[in-house]
Amino acid sequence: MPAHLILGGARSGKSRYAETLALGTGLPVTVIATAEALDAEMASRIRRHQQDRPHAWRTVETPLALADALRREAQLGRCVIVDCLTLWLMNLMADADTLASALDADALPRLRAERAALLDCLPGLRGDVLLVANELGLGLVPETPLGRLFRDEAGRLNQSVAALCGRVTFVAAGLPLALKG
């Protein structure tokens, strides 16, 4: 079954929508969590997400090697939620040694390699795969070159993933709008 991309802004309800879809499958669910608790506020957000999920769901923390985790976890008879692609992208950009001097993603080889691996694995995944990502292109233009690079890379990633997914849904104010499929 082709993957399903779920896009939305901050606090739009996209994660909750993905969780509702996962519950509806009746399958065992694994959440591939890409967030890292690097400060108290992020640790609190992560705890809140964990508490909102059913206790039977497995969580696999994967801040960087997402394609590897998806190849392992996405199997027939299982549902996988990736929450979220945008944090994964941020982790890859923050992982770069030369990020301060990079003006485009071509200067970030790990980002290029991990993105290519993700896009390569998506068409062959088995089971139900729900990918959550932020839509950043509807807001203000970031003030810094690094902020603009991140926004641009997130937009490119979302476009590439959407092209490979059988379904794409945009969520605003908790309301899903089917864009594809």
Cis peptide before 84 (omega within 30 of 0): yes
Catalytic residues: 49
Compute the distance between CA of residue 33 and CA of residue 15 in angstroms, rounded to an integer: 11
What is the residue whose two structure tokens read 């309301």?
175
Q: Look up the pTM and report it.
A: 0.92
pLDDT at residue 144, as a whole number: 85
Cα distance between residue 174 and residue 119, in whole Å: 28
119 three-state secondary structure: helix
What tokens appear for 53 in the block?
A: 């999920």
The annotation status of 83 as a binding-site residue, yes or no, is yes
- Cα 12 from Cα 9, distance rounded (Å): 5
- On whether 13 is known to bind a ligand per the annotation, the reply is yes
pLDDT in tens, 48-70: 887 888 999 999 999 999 999 99
Rounded mean pLDDT of 67-78? 97
**How many Å apart are CA 105 and CA 152, to the nearest integer?**
9
Is 12 among the annotated ligand-binding positions?
yes
Q: What is the pLDDT of residues 2-43, one digit of tens each?
A: 899 999 998 999 999 999 999 999 999 999 999 887 788 877
Label the pairing between strands 175-180 and 167-172.
antiparallel
Select from 1.10.10.10, 3.30.420.40, 3.40.50.2000, 3.40.50.300 the CATH code of 4-180.
3.40.50.300
- Rounded to an integer, the average pLDDT of 141-163 is 92
- Contact yes or no for 78/28 (Cβ under 8 A): yes
Helix or strand holding residue 180 (H, E): strand 175-180
Q: Is 34 annotated as a binding residue?
A: yes
Predicted confidence (pLDDT) at residue 104 exceeds the cutoff of 70: no
Give the single-character DSSP code of 137: T
